[in-house]
Homo-oligomer: A and B are copies of this chain.
Amino acid sequence: MAVSVREVAARAAVSVGTVSNVLNRPDKVSPATVERVHAAIRELGFVRNDAARQLRAGRSRSIGLVVLDVRNPFFTDVARGAEDRAAEDGMTILLGNSDENADREGSYLDLFEEQRVHGVLITPLTDDLPRLERLQGRGTPVVLVDREAADRRFSSVAVDDVVGGELAVRHLAEIGRRRIAFVGGPMAIRQVTDRLEGARRAVEATPGMTMEVVETESLTVLAGRAAGAAIRERAASDRPDAVFAANDLLAMGVLQALMMQGTVLVPDDIALIGYDDIDFAAAAVVPLSSIRQPAALIGYTAVDLLLKEAGEADGDEGEQERERERVIFQPELVVRGSTVPDAASHPSAP
Contacts and interface: CB of A to CB of B under 8 A. Distances in A.
Interface of A: 1-2, 45, 47-52, 54-55, 58, 60, 70-71, 73, 76-77, 79-80, 92, 94-95, 110-111, 113-116, 134, 138-139, 221, 252-253, 255-256, 259-262, 279-280, 282-287, 345-347
Contact of A280 (B47, B48, B92, B252): B252
Assembly stoichiometry (copies)? 2
A76 B69 CA distance: 10
Contacts of A282: 256
Contacts of A50: 114-116
Contacts of A221: 279-280, 283
A-B complex: 9 closest residue pairs judged by Cβ atoms? A51-B54, A259-B346, A51-B55, A50-B114, A280-B280, A252-B283, A50-B115, A51-B51, A48-B114
Given A45-B134, A76-B71, A346-B285, A95 B95 contact: yes
A159 to B, nearest CB: 20
B47 A114 contact: yes
Given A48-B114, A70-B79, 20 more contacts: A2-B58, A47-B113, A50-B115, A50-B116, A51-B115, A51-B116, A55-B55, A76-B76, A221-B280, A221-B283, A252-B280, A252-B283, A253-B283, A259-B347, A260-B345, A260-B346, A261-B346, A284-B284, A285-B285, A285-B346
A17 B227 CA distance: 56
A77 B111 CA distance: 22
Nearest to A95: B95
A47 B138 contact: yes
Contacts of A139: 1-2
Contact of A114 (B49, B58, B76): B49
Contact of A347 (B47, B116, B262, B283): B262
Contacts of A346: 256, 259-262, 285
Given A45-B138, A279-B221, A92 B79 contact: no
